[in-house]
Chains A and B, each alone.
Chain A
Amino acid sequence: MTTLLIAEHDHETLKDSTNKALTAASQLGGDVHVLVAGGGQGTKAAAEAAAKLAGVTKVLVAEGPAYEHDLAEPLAALIVALAPGYDAFVAPATSRFKNVMPRVAALLDVMQVSEIIKVVAPDTYERPIYAGNAIQTVKSKDAKKVITVRTSTFAAAGEGGSAAIENAASAADPGLSTFVGEEVAKSDRPELTSAKIIVSGGRAMQSRENFAKYIEPLADKLGAGVGASRAAVDAGYAPNDWQVGQTGKVVAPELYVAVGISGAIQHLAGMKDSKVIVAINKDEDAPIFQVADYGLVADLYQAVPELTEALGKLGK
């Protein structure tokens, strides 16, 4: 059997989520080829990085304007055009592939298995349902498998390969949608889904300014990524791409610091697999304390600056 792994990249560098999805793809047992589809020069660099990953036997590159902005229709058409050569299609469950893969699955008449957290057998996987309150083991009866991978639960594959790089056969762009623009925040902080430490703020932050004044300095001391609860994002205290939870990003860092977050199940769904959880909340009965390894009952407006300062003294 041969698996096609679709690579996540930012049109320059290959993303860590690709390495993690590769681990899942390799566990399916067959050969793994990687498709790198993108626009512009950087696609080649991403393909070269993919060729070095351990376990990859071939890299297919598709470069063209249709793939520059992650539009679903042309990328799905491309994957479907490549489908006859493959038995399984695997991609990380990032927003790009949550958008594209079900379209691929339907065109292949396959029921996709979303966000698997474990490969039990080549056709059997575990996936969370009900915001992670239950884990389902499902067996796919489809001839071809279409799978997205919850990257927070798979280790990243390392380097060590030297796969051949080929151009992918092209597919016509259905021309159904066009790119208008984007607002992508540039930040020097680690991305949420690959950060080793995350500091998140909730509704208690009260404003965008307080995020900048309390959460961000603490995050910077720790070299951490910054997250937020839905309540904080809805209120405009934090941008949408910071949302952690059932319907935001799912993260599993070494250390997750929840500040002024109550711990609703939808939030826990996104962070309860973190290795160490710290909660700072002034309500000693807040549900977040039920999952926190270290809970501090305190007013965040006092505790957070103190913590930031204490870390500074540690030489952080």
Chain B
Amino acid sequence: MKVLVPVKRVVDYNVKVRVKSDGTGVELANVKMSMNPFDEIAVEEALRLKEAGKATEVVVVSIGPAQASETIRTGLAMGADRGILVKAEGSVEPLAVAKILKAVVEAEQPGLVILGKQAIDDDSNQTGQMLAALLGWSQATFASKLEVEGSDFKVTREVDGGLQTIKLKGPAIVTTDLRLNEPRYASLPNIMKAKKKPIDDKSVADYGVDVTPRLEVLKTAEPAGRKAGVKVKDVAELVNKLKTEAGVL
């Protein structure tokens, strides 16, 4: 079974993004970019399946600017076998990403696609579900445990009330939650090795997908700020303030 893992290049989770003063977006010049953390978890899970003899090949794919090849290299350095870069300039919304991924899936024929549950920049939490819909495949979002059962899968999901376990008919789409695994760091030898692994260069045009955005961003603004309040000296003062000043007790 081949496993396909879509990986997205996003602003590193440690960066506190700033809204541009003209309201046209957030400041992305000279900020550190990394692989979306949920996608690292997805790559890790695919590698573990391969190491357990349940997967034969792990292919990472990214849709984005030329620099997204760095994100693919990160996946290759972790241990993925090869990469596919689908070059796209500007914004590609989840629906368009899902359409491109559908075309990649049709060409690659994986038995499983593992995606992150959400990208930490746009926080949409959509792409995996959309890909499952377009392919007519089963889906398990927010996975915290994944087991292969022949060509099918058993997945435990993190839901609002706790955990849910479902069985998926393969081929299937799984999206990762934080507690699925702890991703490995790429070792230096593996980073060197990754430089020789193949990355297939494609463009959106190769797949004939219309990526015209459906959402028009009218403006991007700073959220309403919150000022630091006061420090209280002890529990008694805290209780007093909560009661008389804040009125929440």
**Which of A's residues lie within 8 Å of B, judged by CB?**
10, 69-73, 76, 94-96, 98-107, 109-115, 124, 128-142, 174-185, 193, 197, 222, 230, 233-234, 239-241, 246-247, 249, 254-255, 265-266, 272, 275-278, 284, 289-298, 303, 306-307, 310-311, 314, 316
Contacts and interface: CB of A to CB of B under 8 A. Distances in A.
Nearest 5 Cβ contacts at the A-B interface: A176-B138, A293-B229, A102-B129, A111-B214, A106-B130
Interface stretch (B42-50, B73-81, B192-200, B238-246): B238-246
B93 A130 contact: no
Contact of A183 (B137, B160, B162): B162
Interface in B64-117: 93-95, 98, 117
27 contacts: A72-B139, A76-B133, A102-B125, A102-B129, A103-B139, A105-B126, A105-B133, A110-B214, A111-B214, A112-B126, A114-B125, A130-B121, A131-B123, A133-B16, A135-B220, A137-B220, A183-B163, A230-B178, A276-B242, A289-B231, A290-B226, A293-B229, A293-B230, A294-B230, A295-B232, A296-B234, A307-B238
A102 to B, nearest CB: 4
Contact of A291 (B129, B133, B137, B228): B228
B249 A314 contact: yes
A180 B213 CA distance: 39
A96 B125 CA distance: 12
A234 B136 CA distance: 33
Nearest to A175: B169
Interface of B: 11, 13, 16-17, 19, 26, 38, 93-95, 98, 117-118, 120-134, 136-142, 144, 154, 158-169, 177-179, 213-223, 226, 228-232, 234-236, 238-239, 241-243, 246, 248-249
A120 to B, nearest CB: 8
A313 to B, nearest CB: 9
B235 A178 contact: no
Given A103-B130, A130-B121, A177 B248 contact: no
Contacts of A105: 95, 126, 130, 133
Looking at chain B's contact residues, the main secondary structure is: mixed
Contact of B226 (A73, A272, A303): A272
A234 B123 CA distance: 21
A247 B169 CA distance: 27
Contacts of A107: 133
Contacts, number: 262
A129 B139 CA distance: 25
A310 B139 CA distance: 49
A249 B142 CA distance: 13
B232 A180 contact: no
A292 B229 contact: yes
Contacts of B123: 114-115, 128-131, 246
B179 A95 contact: no
A314 B221 contact: no
Contacts of A234: 178-179
Contacts of B220: 129, 134-137
Contacts of A181: 164-165
Contacts of B177: 240, 247
B11 A102 contact: no
Contacts of A71: 166
B213 to A, nearest CB: 8
B169 A176 contact: yes
A174 B161 CA distance: 25
